[in-house]
Amino acid sequence: MKFSWRVLVLWTLPALVIGFFFWQGAFAGAPADMGRNTASTRMTYGRFLEYLDANRVTNVDFYEGGRTAIVEAVDPDLDNRVQRVRVDLPINAPELITKLKDKGVSFDAHPMRNDGAIWGLIGNLIFPILLITGLFFLFRRSSNLPGGPGQAMSFGKSRARFQMEAKTGVKFDDVAGIEEAKEELQEVVTFLKQPEKFTAVGARIPKGVLLVGPPGTGKTLLAKAIAGEAAVPFFSISGSEFVEMFVGVGASRVRDLFKKAKDKAPCLIFIDEIDAVGRQRGAGIGGGNDEREQTLNQLLTEMDGFEGNTGIIIIAATNRPDVLDAALLRPGRFDRQVIVDAPDRKGRLEILKVHARNKKVDPAVSLEVVARRTPGFTGADLANLLNEAAILTARRRKDSITQIEIDDAIDRLTIGLTLNPLLDSNKKRLIAYHEVGHALLATLLPHADPLNKVTIIPRSGGVGGFSQQILNEEMIDSGLYTRAWIQDNITMTLGGKAAEAEVFGESEVTGGASNDLKMVTNLARKMVTMYGMSDLGLVALETQNSDVFLGRDWVNRNEYSEEMATKIDRQVREMAISCYQQARKIIRENRALVDRLVDLLVEQETIEGEQFRKIVAEYTQLPEKQQLVVSG
């Protein structure tokens, strides 16, 4: 049914409100009781009596049962012109008639103009009446819902929050870098396309597949690709859309969704963020959330309610499978789970290739290098990166995306938008010392990764400047950090604060170092608790947890005692302190070099790694690792 009462009512109400004011204007606001005898000016009763005494009044017409009068009077100040004025009369003025008679003024009484009053009354009433009628229809609709528990105003049915795409146009080719997930889901395409193949041999086709992975890894894309490959309609809704203020709305949306999907079978239903509805029931404070439970129950009922071979497959996505209600994961529901993880370097390259297909990329650009420079980027990040680069290219009026635009886009995404350079020279110097502190240590520490660049061009998000190292992709990809590498990184990270303290004194250290300190704490903690690289010995107190996104990291927290926790804290602090001492020592011993680099940085605002190393080499011997970079 295309005709919707809701739409009608929603559009009628504002029209009525506007109409109401017009009606008010036409019938209630104007002196309707005066009929044709409208008189624009008003005269007080006292003044009227004065006029009467002065024999200026020629005619009086009474209206409204004698409560008002239109008075014709001549005004000597206005060439004795006849004026018509309105006078409000006191109710108890019987002597007025006598007086008029005495003065020989002609007067007449007119009957009440009732029609005006009635229209005014209707004008006043019609708005509330229509409003009530409108609400009545809203209520009626909600109680019409099949099985609806009769809650006030259920918008579940009329406001279809799910989307239906007859053709998604996405193919498996558009999804890259998550080959395992793709392979597993290939089968789902066959379920949708040729269910007979399976039912013929008595196989039960799974109803639900749960995609598990962090945001932006391509779960939605993958689901669309399945629908696209199988050429079936794609229904999608987000779990958060189910959760509404009114109890019962979510459940009715689920019902509605499945009803529509059954009409279109074979088809694919995609439920994003299923954790929003699928959380363990009764787990919330105060006994859980009624609305969510009802929605979840409805979802379970619907899933049980159709046979596996009806051609509907439900794919749900979440990054928190651990919080899901166990009932959702039982056989016959989302019994298949497919992990969609952030891509590795090879995966990133594949994804970059997919997104470079429809862009003009300079042949000199090596996507390989881009993939290497973007550890931790998800598919969505990479798509965004190439798009940013394309925007920069257009803005710079270039024909194709070059490495420069890609590098700038990476910085923009990882660090922030570039802002205008600072004018305030004191602050600029302070930031320069801080960043040179980092950069110099990155260059002088034997195990630190070489400097890529150091800059004091500010970025959005309160970044005054930054020094950037060339990524050690080998170590990042393998996860095999050496103790020396971590230690030098801690020292390098403390280099900013160390330089500030050496140059301006400990009391002048700015808040700019607070992020650095957080990073140091993290690194040092990892060293102590994960890698067994401390005096606490060879115990892995926390297991490396790549599943942090699963929300399980708290599980490990209690694996050691209170006493051990204190020891860990002491170790972490000692490590940070000794690194800080070392950082200050290096800055102190190279003070002349630091000053020169700061002068240059303030002037140039950015120093590339190469130039930086050359200057440093004039003062002191570079470690082996850094020399390689200079020659290469």
Residue 516 interacts, among ligand ADP, Mg ion, Zn ion, none and using kind-specific CB cut-offs from 5 to 8 Å, with Zn ion
> Quick one: CA dihedral 585, 588, 590, 595, positive or negative?
positive
Residue 358 half-sphere exposure toward CB, CA atoms < 13 A: 4
Output 350 or 502, the one with its CB closest to ligand ADP.
Answer: 350
Segments in 367-402 forming alpha helices (H) = 367-372, 379-395
Chain positions 210 to 249 lying near Mg ion, rule: CB under 5 A, are 220
Q: Please report the beta strands in 400-470, taking only residues with DSSP state E, as ranges in sequence order.
A: 451-455, 466-469
Chain positions 469 to 528 lying near Zn ion, rule: CB under 5 A, are 496, 516
Q: Which amino acid is at 487?
A: Q
Residue 175 interacts, among Mg ion, Zn ion, ligand ADP, none and using kind-specific CB cut-offs from 5 to 8 Å, with ligand ADP
Residue 116 interacts, among Mg ion, Zn ion, ligand ADP, none and using kind-specific CB cut-offs from 5 to 8 Å, with none
Output 73 or 211, the one with its CB closest to ligand ADP.
Answer: 211
3-state secondary structure 498-555: HHHHHHHCHHHCCHHHHHHHHHHHHHHHHHHHCCCCCCCCCCCCCCCCCCHHHCCHHH
Output 257 or 442, the one with its CB closest to Zn ion.
Answer: 442
Residue 177 structure tokens = 């870098």
**Residue 582 touches Mg ion, criterion: CB under 5 A:** no
Residue 564 interacts, among Zn ion, Mg ion, ligand ADP, none and using kind-specific CB cut-offs from 5 to 8 Å, with none
By CB under 5 A, the count of residues binding Mg ion is 1
Minimum CB–partner distance for residue 156 and Zn ion (Å): 52
**Which residues are 85's β-sheet partners?**
41, 71
Indicate which residue of 291, 435, 500, 542 is catalytic: 435
Output 294 or 318, the one with its CB closest to ligand ADP.
Answer: 318
Q: Which helix (H) or strand (E) holds 15?
A: helix 5-23
Q: Are the C-beta atoms of 234 and 227 separated by less than 8 Å? A: yes
Minimum CB–partner distance for residue 181 and ligand ADP (Å): 9
Output 272 or 542, the one with its CB closest to ligand ADP.
Answer: 272
CA–CA gap between residue 86 and residue 47 (Å, rounded): 11
Residue 466 structure tokens = 């930054």
**Looking up tokens 């509805």, which residue turns up?**
277
Minimum CB–partner distance for residue 170 and ligand ADP (Å): 8
Residue 383 interacts, among Zn ion, ligand ADP, Mg ion, none and using kind-specific CB cut-offs from 5 to 8 Å, with ligand ADP
Minimum CB–partner distance for residue 391 and Zn ion (Å): 29
Report which DSSP code applies to 32. G
Q: Are the C-beta atoms of 83 and 75 separated by less than 8 Å? A: yes
Residue 496 interacts, among Zn ion, ligand ADP, Mg ion, none and using kind-specific CB cut-offs from 5 to 8 Å, with Zn ion
Residue 380 interacts, among Mg ion, Zn ion, ligand ADP, none and using kind-specific CB cut-offs from 5 to 8 Å, with ligand ADP
Q: Which residues contact 468 (CB under 8 A, 6 or more apart)?
A: 411, 451, 452, 453, 454
Minimum CB–partner distance for residue 466 and Zn ion (Å): 7
Output 357 or 591, the one with its CB closest to ligand ADP.
Answer: 357
Minimum CB–partner distance for residue 340 and ligand ADP (Å): 6
Minimum CB–partner distance for residue 463 and Zn ion (Å): 9
Residues that bind ligand ADP (CB under 6 A): 175-178, 215-221, 317, 351, 354, 379-380, 383
Q: Which string of DSSP letters, residue by residue, matches 107-153? A: EEE----HHHHHHHHHHHHHHHHHHHHHHHHHHHHHHHSTT----S-
Output 328 or 383, the one with its CB closest to ligand ADP.
Answer: 383
Q: Is 435 known to be catalytic? A: yes
Q: How many CB atoms neighbour CB 230 within 10 A?
A: 22
Q: How many CB atoms neighbour CB 22 within 10 A?
A: 10
Per CB under 5 A, residues contacting Mg ion are 220
Per CB under 5 A, residues contacting Zn ion are 496, 516
Catalytic residues: 435
